[in-house]
Homo-oligomer: A and B are copies of this chain.
Amino acid sequence: MDDNYKKRPESWAIITSEPGPELPLVTVRFDTVRNPRNAKEMRAVVLESPDWVNIVALTPERRLVVVRQYRFGIAAVTTEIPGGLIDPGETHREAAERELREETGHTTSKWTYLGASEPNPAVFNNLIHHWLAEGVEPTHSLEQDDGEDIVVDTMSLDEVRDAVLSGSIRHTLVLAALARIMDLSKG
């Protein structure tokens, strides 16, 4: 038991790296890796993606701007905060401003970086950057892709907290962003 405490695991050698089958949204890569513990080789799948952003957008009344949309993975409508993929040549701050405007029509000049999280470091190679946008106002029409059908709403922070505790907001990427600005625990 004690042997496994307080040590740092070693990095694994990557023996070969090859492209996997073509998928939308992600680039699949297969790495053959060697486990430093037992020298056994295995094939690991990596899903490559550009970094993502999401935005905690608060109105002047401190209401959170949320988007409701049908999600193909769970085949159901979710309540989320706006977000998306960073486009080529864009900074994550620019992507955050663009996604907020396109998905909700809201803009502001008051932006604060909240840090980044790993969406799933076991398989995804990317980060999601979290931004806080304060004093946002509806200034534009929505610009939806053909593959989007978004409804915009706002919620008080008490309503947001209740929605997290009841499970009606439960997208982990959204929770990671919200946890940076409010206490989501039951305590």
Contacts and interface: CB of A to CB of B under 8 A. Distances in A.
Tell me what chain A mostly uses at the interface: helix, strand, loop, or mixed. Answer: loop
Bin chain A's interface residue count: 35 or more
A116 B167 CA distance: 7
Interface of A: 1, 4-12, 14, 20-25, 28, 31, 33, 35-38, 40, 42-47, 68-78, 105, 115-125, 128, 138, 141-142, 144, 146-153, 167, 170-173, 175-176, 179-187
A2 to B, nearest CB: 9
Residue of A46, A68, A175 contacting most chain B CB atoms (<10 Å): A175
Contacts of A122: 71-73
Contact of A45 (B12, B25, B46, B123): B25
